[in-house]
A and B are shown apart, each in its own frame.
Chain A
Amino acid sequence: MLEPINVSLESLNLITLAPMLIAIAGGLIILIIDLLNGKLHKSLYVMLTILVLFIDFGSVLGLNVNERGFFDVMLVDGISIISQLMIIGGSMIFIPLALTSKRFHEYSYPEFFALFLFMIAGFQFMVATDNLILIFVGLETASLSLYTLIALHNRANSYEAAVKYFTMGALAAAFFAMGSAVVYALTGSVELYKVAEIMATRLNEAGLMIAIFGSSVLLLISFAFKLSLFPFHTWAPDVYEGASAPLAGYMSVVPKIAAFVVSMRIFGMYIDLGVEWVRWTLLILAVLTMTLANIMALVQDDVKRMLAYSSISHAGFIMAALALNTTEGNTSIFLYYALFMFTNLGAFAMLWISRHKKRRFNVLHDHPYEKFAGLIQIMPMGAVIMAIFMLSLAGVPPFSVFWGKIYVMKAAVNAGYVPLAIIMGLNSAIAAYYYLKLIVYMFLMDPVKSVDTVYYNISKPLLIVIGLATLATVSAIFYIQPLMSNLYYMVSISNY
């Protein structure tokens, strides 16, 4: 006979689950509303989503730091709180982009918004636990929703993108499952803090290194897929091109924050255990990612593909910071993404306003450089804003990404990796070329006369989002201090 289990409700600490449950409940409410009345306008769903996210944000803010809950599965430490806040915040900037002046297929489905909320819940699960199984569940919830979101954009290449992303994602998931299985076989636990304890006691056993090698290689491949690190990055540009511009911008930031938090927990653990080659592998991957993605970005004809490669290169920057495994390095991951988020979403939103429902600019590409030729004459304000985003991405001070870059480089120098800092600097110089190319097209070329102006898609919510992104990009110098010290505090109290 089974023993009855006695668990007091307090010890479950259900409040740690509240943020995810709010997002899931919000998604369900949207589905129910659709069931009751199918003819409602998308603006309702957008606003509902924002409200749900708002409550979600508030509930995360209310969490106590360094608590466990729900059979010790949930872990609310500093990095889980800041990454959840960033995920929700990024989603809140993204979702108003659905309110374009032209109607687009995917945003007319209420399911889009429900799936979107489920995805956010998945990401929150990923970052708020150190249990490998729950990480896997969160990863899959989020990924499956994201595949569908991409496919909802009804373009031939969106299906291609979704299928490509799905296949790659499934492969990554399989690698993750195998990697965790090895970890479990080795230690008899799926909880990372226990895994670390057990491994630490058995480090000098002969067979263990091979097993660690096996598990970390499998996990590394899995996360290299998710983070689109070299040589597993090839899906990213195609998927970004297939997805709608805002979704591509979103994908280049928010899922990566979640994946970086998990990699920080897993690989940080390995490096802490003294498995130095994990660090070197990560460093080499990071350097290759930033360099090769930069070189690929140089030869792109399409701005969206260029931005896709550029965000891969930025991910390489962050990966290098992760490999340092210092508090400063880990802080820089969050700082960089907090700053990069606004600029990159802004840049993708600028692509979005130039989108036509049916007409493509040319057969091959939707956003070739020629489309932006002479933007300064057509829409001076737009050109200036886009130029600010580009300069920020290139790392020109005082715009936001510069501060992220300097912080990452400082972390590298402080950890004793001066050559890495120099490689980062040189990579920024290469990157400057392709960002500059867009500026050159916008400011120094004449408009392509055969095409009438390209800006159909402007609406107030879009302008508000772009305005917000511009403000955040330009005024970074004033808020960088509180942001940085808070992030540093949160990272250091969670012992990373």
Chain B
Amino acid sequence: MENILSILVFFPAVAGLLGFVIDKNSIRTYAITVAAIEFFLSLWLWASFDTTSASMQFVEMIPLIPDMGISYYLGVDGISLFIIIMTTLMTLIGMTSMGEMKNIKNMMITLLFLEMTMIGVFVALDAIIFYLFWELSLVPMLYIVGAWGGPRRVYAAVKFFLYTFTGSLVMLVGMLFIAYFYHDLTGIWSFALTDWYALIVPVEYPIEIFDGYYKFNIDLQMWLFLAFFIGFAIKVPMFPFHTWIPYAHGQAPTIGSVILAAVLLKMGTYGFVRFSLPMFPDASVMAITPIAVLALIMVIYTAMIAYAQKDIKQVIAYSSVSHMGIIMLGLFAMNAEGLSGSVFQMLSHGIVSGALFMLVGMLYERRQTKMMSEFGGIAAVMPKFAIIFGIMLMASVGLPLTIGFVGEFLVLLGFYQVSPMMTILAGTSIILGAVYMLRVMKKTFFGPLDKEENKKLKDLNTRETWSLIPLVAIVIWLGVYPKPVLAPIDNTVKALLVFMDRKARTPEAREMIKTAKITMNKEEAK
């Protein structure tokens, strides 16, 4: 199946359209079946993926608008492969773990459309197609937050939409400029990423304004990097742009938070890997320090906010942002450990924070509150829940032998080569994480079971248990033996670094990425 990517993208959409005619009571089973088929298709993609190769695979290309160089261009490499599998997995598990709700039909259909747009983002190799799916993914999420959310849902949904929309329009101008630049050099219009990769964006670009009255050089790479940065950083969300996320998580229904934390935020970090790093290596190297500072603020500041929260869901929301900071740090370590760790951390963050949001959602369904003070000692009445929550919490903190440890350790190891000082600061995130997470654990599960309502809480039912057990299994499996996933990622990441090294022009960048090469050579020597 050479066109498996197209099938992966459009299967949920077609299924979503057909879903309109399905009865309200059967829609849930239908949607779960579709999501399961989609998940197995993505596993099949993994099985037929050549993990030794670092190039794009299953490439499909159909010219759509040749005059503008826009084509339907898809492909998958070691980085996007696992994010796709994570997407299909989290959609499937999110659907199965979901409790009863109003308008379930609309919800299921929306989720299927959302799945299409998410996979579309991760397989697109044409900038316009990427942008198309990127923008389209906002619409279903807007509806999910706005229709099923909490009391201030409309505000949260609109804020989410407008923030991301604004950022991505700046990114669109950046894309158009690159296309223009490419056309200027080659005479061909192209939005294909593989074409853009071949382009060396100059660090010094002459600009004339007012008919040549003023002439000066600008750092074109830096400006384009910034244009893309705004688009991606809002989505991640990086520190000064993060203000939409507490509202979005606070108001979103459980499934909304799960998808948002697990997949939508990854679009931002994925964008950095796919666009910023390979296209603007010099600017990326120059941006290491500012971005690392922002990431550190993100890690420490949001961890502190998380500690101050009274609402369990908000703690998890802020901890999720805090961990996104680690991912950002890894991306800009510019070496194999940091980048692979970062990509791996994207997966682990997706699974762990998704699972935590599901668990909080289950608690909320039982008690209609998420306040820590309302609980206490419920480990006695909900042992299964407490165990799974505990495992996920440990994984989130980064306990060795869980999935969280692998990514976090690699990122810190990678960034240590850039700046030991900053790495030590980032390392505090593990301690801070442990502090606020264990506080949640203590206040919710341990202590005296003194509230009357809590004594009657039911433990997880079969459906809930079985939707969480696969996640627990993955958390432990990849924590103990991450190689099957880490090896292909490592492959692709190394190719990416070699490629960046070849493209880098400024001495600083060459120096920086050279250290990456030395470590790589050392590894190969071993």
* A432 closest partner in B (C-beta): B165
Is the CB of A425 closer than 8 A to any CB of chain B? Answer: yes
Q: Chain A residues with Cβ under 8 A from B66's Cβ? A: 481
Partner of B170, one of A414, A425, A484: A425
* A484 closest partner in B (C-beta): B67
A432 to B67, CA, bound (A): 28
Interface stretch, picked from B6-14, B129-137, B237-245, is B129-137
Is the CB of A33 closer than 8 A to any CB of chain B? Answer: no
Q: Chain A residues with Cβ under 8 A from B169's Cβ? A: 395, 425-426, 428-429
Are A425 and B162 within 8 A (Cβ)?
no
Is the CB of A464 closer than 8 A to any CB of chain B? Answer: no
Given the interface contacts A410-B180, A432-B165, does A477 sit within 8 Å of B147 by beta carbon?
Answer: no
Are A409 and B172 within 8 A (Cβ)?
yes
A488 to B68, CA, bound (A): 12
Type the 1/0 row for B129-161, where 1 means its CB is closer than 8 Å to any CB of A.
Answer: 001100110110011001100000110011001
Is the CB of A196 closer than 8 A to any CB of chain B? Answer: no
Question: Among residues 211 to 265 in chain B, which have CB atoms less than 8 Å away from a CB atom of chain A?
Answer: 211
* B163 closest partner in A (C-beta): A429
Given the interface contacts A391-B139, A396-B139, does A443 sit within 8 Å of B173 by beta carbon?
Answer: no
Is the CB of A193 closer than 8 A to any CB of chain B? Answer: no
Are B139 and A443 within 8 A (Cβ)?
no
Is the CB of B525 closer than 8 A to any CB of chain A? Answer: no
Closest CB-CB distance, A98 to chain B, in whole Å? Answer: 32
A398 to B173, CA, bound (A): 17
Type the 1/0 row for A407-429, where 1 means its CB is closer than 8 Å to any CB of B.
Answer: 10110011000100110011011
Is the CB of B356 closer than 8 A to any CB of chain A? Answer: no
Is the CB of B116 closer than 8 A to any CB of chain A? Answer: no
Q: Chain B residues with Cβ under 8 A from A437's Cβ? A: 158
Is the CB of A133 closer than 8 A to any CB of chain B? Answer: no
Closest CB-CB distance, B106 to chain A, in whole Å? Answer: 8
- Interface size of A by CB at 8 A reads 35
Q: Chain A residues with Cβ under 8 A from B153's Cβ? A: 444
Q: Chain B residues with Cβ under 8 A from A485's Cβ? A: 67
Closest CB-CB distance, A395 to chain B, in whole Å? Answer: 8
Closest CB-CB distance, B384 to chain A, in whole Å? Answer: 36
Is the CB of B177 closer than 8 A to any CB of chain A? Answer: yes
A220 to B166, CA, bound (A): 33
Is the CB of B176 closer than 8 A to any CB of chain A? Answer: yes
Given the interface contacts A409-B172, A418-B173, A425-B172, does A443 sit within 8 Å of B132 by beta carbon?
Answer: no
Chain A CB within 10 Å — which of B128, B135, B146, B172 has the most? Answer: B172
Closest CB-CB distance, B13 to chain A, in whole Å? Answer: 12
A322 to B320, CA, bound (A): 48
Closest CB-CB distance, B361 to chain A, in whole Å? Answer: 21
Are B179 and A488 within 8 A (Cβ)?
no
Q: Chain B residues with Cβ under 8 A from A407's Cβ? A: 68
Are B172 and A477 within 8 A (Cβ)?
no
Type the 1/0 row for A472-496, where 1 means its CB is closer than 8 Å to any CB of B.
Answer: 0000010011001100100000000
Given the interface contacts A409-B173, A429-B169, A444-B153, does A398 sit within 8 Å of B132 by beta carbon?
Answer: yes
A414 to B189, CA, bound (A): 11
Q: Chain B residues with Cβ under 8 A from A410's Cβ? A: 68, 176, 179-180
Are A418 and B161 within 8 A (Cβ)?
no
Are A440 and B68 within 8 A (Cβ)?
no
Partner of A480, one of B65, B154, B157, B176: B65
A436 to B169, CA, bound (A): 16
A276 to B212, CA, bound (A): 14
Given the interface contacts A397-B132, A436-B158, A444-B146, does A421 sit within 8 Å of B176 by beta carbon?
Answer: yes
Are B176 and A413 within 8 A (Cβ)?
yes
Is the CB of B64 closer than 8 A to any CB of chain A? Answer: yes
Chain A CB within 10 Å — which of B161, B166, B169, B179 has the most? Answer: B169
Are A432 and B162 within 8 A (Cβ)?
yes
A437 to B162, CA, bound (A): 11
Are A484 and B139 within 8 A (Cβ)?
no
Question: Among residues 28 to 73 in chain B, which have CB atoms less than 8 Å away from a CB atom of chain A?
Answer: 64-68
Is the CB of A433 closer than 8 A to any CB of chain B? Answer: yes
Are B158 and A440 within 8 A (Cβ)?
yes
Given the interface contacts A391-B139, A426-B169, A481-B67, does A444 sit within 8 Å of B162 by beta carbon?
Answer: no
Closest CB-CB distance, A177 to chain B, in whole Å? Answer: 34
Partner of A477, one of B64, B165, B170: B64
A182 to B284, CA, bound (A): 58
Type the 1/0 row for B166-191, where 1 means its CB is closer than 8 Å to any CB of A.
Answer: 10011011001101100100000000
Are A440 and B172 within 8 A (Cβ)?
no
Closest CB-CB distance, B66 to chain A, in whole Å? Answer: 6
* B170 closest partner in A (C-beta): A425
A410 to B179, CA, bound (A): 9
Q: Chain B residues with Cβ under 8 A from A418's Cβ? A: 173, 177
Partner of B154, one of A394, A396, A432, A444: A444
Are B173 and A425 within 8 A (Cβ)?
yes
Closest CB-CB distance, B154 to chain A, in whole Å? Answer: 5
Chain A CB within 10 Å — which of B128, B132, B176, B180 has the most? Answer: B176
Is the CB of A48 closer than 8 A to any CB of chain B? Answer: no
Partner of A484, one of B65, B138, B157: B65
A302 to B83, CA, bound (A): 44
Closest CB-CB distance, A415 to chain B, in whole Å? Answer: 10
A174 to B40, CA, bound (A): 71
Closest CB-CB distance, A434 to chain B, in whole Å? Answer: 11
Chain A CB within 10 Å — which of B64, B138, B165, B170 has the most? Answer: B165
Are B177 and A396 within 8 A (Cβ)?
no
Are A433 and B132 within 8 A (Cβ)?
no
A394 to B180, CA, bound (A): 24
Is the CB of A406 closer than 8 A to any CB of chain B? Answer: yes
Question: Among residues 432 to 483 in chain A, which have CB atoms less than 8 Å away from a CB atom of chain B?
Answer: 432-433, 436-437, 439-440, 443-445, 477, 480-481
A426 to B65, CA, bound (A): 25
* A394 closest partner in B (C-beta): B165
A422 to B142, CA, bound (A): 25
Q: Chain A residues with Cβ under 8 A from B179's Cβ? A: 410
Chain A CB within 10 Å — which of B65, B161, B170, B211 has the most? Answer: B65
Q: Chain A residues with Cβ under 8 A from B211's Cβ? A: 276
Q: Chain A residues with Cβ under 8 A from B170's Cβ? A: 422, 425-426
* B179 closest partner in A (C-beta): A410
Q: Chain A residues with Cβ under 8 A from B136's Cβ? A: 396-398
Given the interface contacts A413-B180, A432-B161, does A443 sit within 8 Å of B147 by beta carbon?
Answer: yes
Are A396 and B67 within 8 A (Cβ)?
no
A249 to B173, CA, bound (A): 30
Closest CB-CB distance, A332 to chain B, in whole Å? Answer: 11
A12 to B177, CA, bound (A): 48
Q: Chain B residues with Cβ under 8 A from A481's Cβ? A: 64-67
A407 to B146, CA, bound (A): 32
Question: Among residues 354 to 411 in chain A, which have CB atoms less than 8 Å away from a CB atom of chain B?
Answer: 391, 394-398, 406-407, 409-410
A481 to B165, CA, bound (A): 26
Partner of A414, one of B65, B128, B172, B180: B180
Closest CB-CB distance, A265 to chain B, in whole Å? Answer: 25
* A488 closest partner in B (C-beta): B67
Q: Chain A residues with Cβ under 8 A from B139's Cβ? A: 391, 396
Q: Chain A residues with Cβ under 8 A from B146's Cβ? A: 440, 443-444
| Known contacts A397-B135, A414-B183, then 17 further A-B pairs from the complex at CB < 8 Å, ordered by chain A residue | A391-B139, A406-B128, A409-B172, A413-B177, A418-B177, A422-B170, A422-B173, A426-B169, A426-B170, A432-B165, A433-B158, A436-B142, A437-B158, A439-B142, A444-B143, A444-B157, A481-B64
Smallest CB-CB A-B distances: 4 pairs: A425-B169, A429-B166, A397-B132, A444-B146
22 A-B pairs with CB atoms under 8 Å apart are A391-B139, A396-B135, A397-B128, A397-B132, A397-B135, A398-B136, A406-B128, A410-B68, A410-B179, A418-B173, A418-B177, A425-B172, A426-B166, A429-B169, A432-B166, A436-B158, A439-B142, A440-B146, A440-B154, A440-B157, A443-B146, A477-B64
